[in-house]
Amino acid sequence: MLWDRKWATRRLTAIMTVGFGVGLVYYGMPLNVGNLGSNLYLSVTFNALAEFPSALVTFFLVGKINRRSSVLALTTISGILSLCCIVNDEIIPAKVQMVLEVVSFFSTCTCFEIIMIYSVELFPTCVRNFALALIRQALVLGGVLAPMLVVKGRENKFWSFGVFGLLICCCGLFTVCLPETRGRSICDTMEEEEYKEADINQSRIGP
């Protein structure tokens, strides 16, 4: 049913692409802190602690924030800050880079949480489990590729922080292909989802 309908295939492809970029940074960034040149133990500690506020932010704001714009903003912030970490230490000191890396990781963690909620709302009940399994695999696939970039980053930080930043920014752009789901009821069938989408499009066009 997912492959027979273009709108479902488009949604699945887009959210899997976003998930791949987020998964790459989510699983790779904690492994990459050793390439910063700052205190390794502090960097690891701050990265671990960053996951707690990200979960709290998602928990308290999930009913008030738009899914699509939040994912787009968070991936952009994470990507830009990750790219800042490749700048020479003489321009941006190592301690400042550590702060930028932690904020980048915090944005990625928050985006990870929102994507899992967003994915549930994008697909009707009849195909939701299958779609979520594929999205989860895309996230994990990013994590599988991350260690190779981390190892390469020991020679040049661009191959870790630079590629992380570029990929999450580029993958995050696919969010614009997805509909906004905040405040919408979850459908049970593909037909119900199609009717609802048609009604929304008609209301935008007007009578």
pLDDT score of 95:
83
- The amino acid sitting at 104 is S
Give me the residues of the chain with pLDDT under 70, please: 199-207
Selection from 52, 63, 54 nearest residue 22 by Cα: 54
Burial (Cβ within 10 Å: 0-12, 13-18, ≥19) of residue 34? middle
pLDDT score of 16:
95
Give the contacts of 128 (CB within 8 A, at least 6 positions apart).
Answer: 120
Alpha-carbon distance values, 69 to 59, 102, 136 (Å): 17, 22, 21
Contact 58, 50 (CB under 8 A): no
C-alpha span between 205 and 207 (Å, rounded): 7
Contact 159, 40 (CB under 8 A): no
Contact 110, 75 (CB under 8 A): no
pTM over 0.75: yes
pLDDT in tens, 8-24: 899 999 999 999 999 99
Q: Which uninterrupted H or E stretch holds 9?
A: helix 6-32
Contact 70, 172 (CB under 8 A): no
